[in-house]
Amino acid sequence: RFLFEALSAGLQSSGLKVYDLGLIPTPVAYFAAFNEIDNIQCPNSIMITGSHNPKEYNGFKITLNQNPFYGKDIQALKDTLLNAKHEIKPLKETPEKVNALEAYQRYLIKDFKHLKNLKYKIALDFGNGVGALGLEPILKALNIDFSSLYSDPDGNFPNHHPDPSEAKNLKDLEKHMRENAILIGFAFDGDADRIAMLSSHHIYAGDELAILFAKRLHAQGITPFVIGEVKCSQVMYNTINTFGKTLMYKTGHSNLKIKLKETNAHFAAEMSGHIFFKERYFGYDDALYACLRALELLLEQSPSDLENTIKNLPYSYTTPEEKIAVSEEEKFEIIHNLQKALKNPPSHFPKIKEIISIDGVRVVFEHGFGLIRASNTTPYLVSRFEGKDETTALEYKRALLNLLEK
Provide the edge-to-edge strand list for the sheet that holds 60-64.
45-48, 60-64, 67-68
CATH number, domain 317-405, options 3.90.45.10, 3.20.20.80, 3.40.50.300, 3.30.310.50: 3.30.310.50
Question: Given this model, what pLDDT does residue 51 score?
Answer: 82
376 burial type by CB count under 10 A (0-12 exposed, 13-18 middle, 19+ buried)? middle
Residue 174 reports pLDDT greater than 80: yes
Q: Check whether 390 has a pLDDT greater than 90.
A: yes
Q: Quick check: 148 pLDDT over 90? A: yes
Domain positions in the chain are: 2-99, 317-405
Tens of pLDDT along 215-248?
999 999 999 999 999 999 999 999 999 999 999 9
Please check whether the domain covering 2-99 is classified as CATH 3.30.930.10: no
Environment class of 207 (CB within 10 Å of its CB; exposed 0-12, middle 13-18, buried 19+): buried
pLDDT at 131: 98
Query: How far from chain centre, in Å, is Cα 263?
Result: 19
What is the C-alpha R_g of the chain? 22
Which one of the listed residues 8, 51, 316, 383 is annotated catalytic? 51
For the question of residue 51 being annotated catalytic, the response is yes
Q: Residue 103 has what pLDDT? A: 98
pTM: 0.95
Check residue 53 and give its pLDDT. 77
Is a pLDDT exceeding 90 seen at residue 86?
no
Percent of the chain with pLDDT over 90: 90
What's the mean pLDDT in 150-172?
Answer: 96
Cβ-based neighbour number of residue 186 at 10 Å: 26
The pLDDT of residue 377: 80
pLDDT for res 330: 93
Indicate the pLDDT class of residue 325, thresholds 50, 70 and 90: very high
Question: What average pLDDT does the structure give for the chain?
Answer: 95
Burial-class residue 342 by CB neighbours within 10 Å (0-12, 13-18, 19+).
middle
Residue 98, pLDDT score: 96
**pLDDT of 326 higher than 80:** yes
